[in-house]
Amino acid sequence: MKLLRYGPAGQEKPGLLDAGGALRDLSGVVDDIAGAVLLPEGLARLQALDPATLPVVAGNPRLGPCVGRVGKMICVGLNYSDHAIESGMAIPTEPVLFMKATSAICGPDDDVEIPRGGAKTDWEVELGVVIGKPAKYVSRERALEHVAGYCIVNDVSERAFQLERGGQWDKGKGCDTFGPLGPWLVSADEVTDPQALDLWLEVDGHRYQNGSTRTMIFDVATLVAYISQFMSLQPGDVISTGTPPGVGFGQKPPVYLRPGQTMRLGIQGLGVQTQRTVAAD
């Protein structure tokens, strides 16, 4: 099941993508792809629907972030050993966690802003994990029972703010538009193995990232269990699980985004995002 949200920013309606690729309106069934809708019983209700009975959405509306009312977005740094090496950082012995401001979340094809004063804005294709059943002190063995589904995240980063301005990484990770989510929330039952997904990213047609979730240091189950030891996870919370090598920061010499470029990124079975870069107002 591929769930999505469509319409103008801040006014998105819930929908799903049917087997034929048509967008179907869910607003007569649920108010949003958020909160209790992501609980196991909420998802079961949607899976029991016959998509053919739902109205078809005409045209090609804007897609919003595939999850609404995200309570928190937890990101994992340096979760691919070859990315840690290209960044000149030690391979972590425990997951490195930081938070991305929820105000950074935007639609999968929305413009990405180069922030004022930004000189080193970078890209990171990542597997996003969306929590369904609340998780607190869960075991690794039961962790995937708490996952509603998966999506693509572009963990856009301003490296100068992140690494050269003192303090935590958050200030380089939370700028507006730095968290595109979607296009779809793919329910967990459709993702047979989250550790067997190819992921890639291109800028202006040049392939920079070409990796697989097989090479994660800490797998999805480990991350959900680990994070739940430090904070409870609620329906709609998003975990962004780290990026494979090929970021701009790791190029020799480094390559960073500038206004007027196009990022295109995808994950096997989870769709594709396309973003144009613009200067922040």
pLDDT per position as a tens digit, 178-237: 999 999 999 999 999 999 999 999 999 999 999 999 999 999 999 999 999 999 999 999
Rounded (5°) CA angle 178-261-113: 30
Distances (CA, A) of 50 to 38, 183, 190, 233, 243: 18, 21, 17, 31, 36
Give the pLDDT confidence score for residue 81 in this predicted structure: 82
Do 81 and 112 fall within a single domain? yes
| List of E strands, 123-270 | 125-131, 147-154, 157-158, 179-180, 185-187, 198-203, 206-212, 238-240, 262-267
Distance of alpha carbon 172 from the chain centroid: 17
Give the confidence band of 88 by pLDDT, cuts at 50, 70, 90. Answer: confident
Give the pLDDT confidence score for residue 87 in this predicted structure: 78
Instruction: For residue 30, give both structure tokens.
Output: 């649920």
CATH code for the domain in which residue 184 is found: 3.90.850.10
* Percent share of the chain, pLDDT over 90: 93
Do 49 and 83 fall within a single domain? no
Q: Write out the residue range of the structural domain in which residue 261 sits.
A: 73-279
Give the pLDDT confidence score for residue 169 in this predicted structure: 86
User: Looking at residues 9-27, what average pLDDT do you find?
Assistant: 97
User: Looking at residues 269-279, what average pLDDT do you find?
Assistant: 98
Give the confidence band of 84 by pLDDT, cuts at 50, 70, 90. Answer: confident
Give the pLDDT confidence score for residue 264 in this predicted structure: 99
Do 81 and 197 fall within a single domain? yes
Do 45 and 118 fall within a single domain? no
Is position 117 within any domain?
Answer: yes
Do 228 and 123 fall within a single domain? yes
Is position 65 within any domain?
Answer: no
Q: How many domains does the chain have?
A: 2
> CB of 238 within 8 A of CB of 70?
yes
Is position 63 within any domain?
Answer: no
Do 93 and 223 fall within a single domain? yes
| pLDDT, averaged across the chain | 96
User: Looking at residues 122-138, what average pLDDT do you find?
Assistant: 98
Whether residue 82 is predicted with pLDDT greater than 80 in this model: the reply is no
* pLDDT tens digits, one per residue of 46-68: 999 999 999 999 999 999 999 99
Do 33 and 98 fall within a single domain? no
Do 17 and 45 fall within a single domain? yes
Q: Give the single-character DSSP code of 225.
A: H
Give the pLDDT confidence score for residue 168 in this predicted structure: 81
Q: How far apart are the two ends of the chain, measured CA to CA in Å?
A: 37
Do 107 and 236 fall within a single domain? yes
* Percent share of the chain, pLDDT over 70: 100
